[in-house]
Copies of this chain bind each other. A is one copy, B any other.
Amino acid sequence: MKRIAESTVRRLSIYLGFLEEIGARGVLTTSSDDLAKLGGTTSAQVRKDLSFFGSFGKRGLGYSVPELSSRLREILGLGQTWKVCIVGAGNIGSALARYAGFAERGFKVLGVYDSDRGKAGNRLAGITIQDTASLEADIARGEYDIVVITVPPENAQDIVDRVVHAGAKAILSFAPTQLTVPPDVELRTVNMAMELEALTFALTNPNR
């Protein structure tokens, strides 16, 4: 089975977002061309992306919105709810804990951890903050599928090492630093400084 490109997965998410939007408006059918216009790509790209997983459309007609939605949800692994914990109850961690967008997509934040003794015991978005000391045992017990890391960059690799050692298999980091994990662990990093730098690069180097 062929390896699926990063960019394909990203586009599938975009397609799904669009499908859910028009689905909620009652649209029943769409075409690769519609999906392409919204995602800023081409209809051939849309069809190629989908073709890696099967053939979901009807020639001459297009795609059934409910059916394609549900197939994409399945492909992206959204058929279940995922148990998430957040490590680091600072600005960003707190905002994420309160962020409603997660729940909508099936991500349930079940735990929040912080190494600051003063914070442990406080409540945040209905969750009691725990001391980071108990994180490893909770992960080892299988309480979480995904670990979100929002600690300061100098502590991030240490936390990563600990949760990986405890058995975590999927990590989303917001720490502005490069992290390393074993090959069987999935890591994604959202680095806001990097995004801003891509903007300033574009502003500074027009036309390239």
Contact = CB atoms under 8 A, between A and B. Distances in A.
A4 interface: yes
Interface string A5-49: 010011011101110000000000000000000111000000000
Interface string A135-166: 00000000001100000000000000000000
B10 A208 contact: no
A199 B146 contact: yes
Interface stretch (A56-64, A73-81, A114-122, A126-134): A73-81
B102 A91 contact: no
A198 B193 CA distance: 21
A190 B196 contact: no
A78 B201 CA distance: 8
B194 A10 contact: yes
B196 A105 contact: yes
Contacts of A202: 170, 186
A192 B92 CA distance: 12
21 contacts: A9-B201, A12-B201, A13-B193, A17-B193, A38-B178, A39-B178, A75-B201, A75-B204, A76-B197, A78-B197, A82-B196, A82-B200, A91-B98, A101-B193, A102-B196, A105-B196, A145-B203, A146-B196, A169-B203, A186-B199, A188-B199
Interface of A: 1-4, 6, 9-10, 12-14, 16-18, 38-40, 75-78, 82, 84, 91-92, 94-96, 98-99, 101-102, 105, 107, 145-146, 169-172, 176-178, 180, 186, 188, 190-205, 207-208
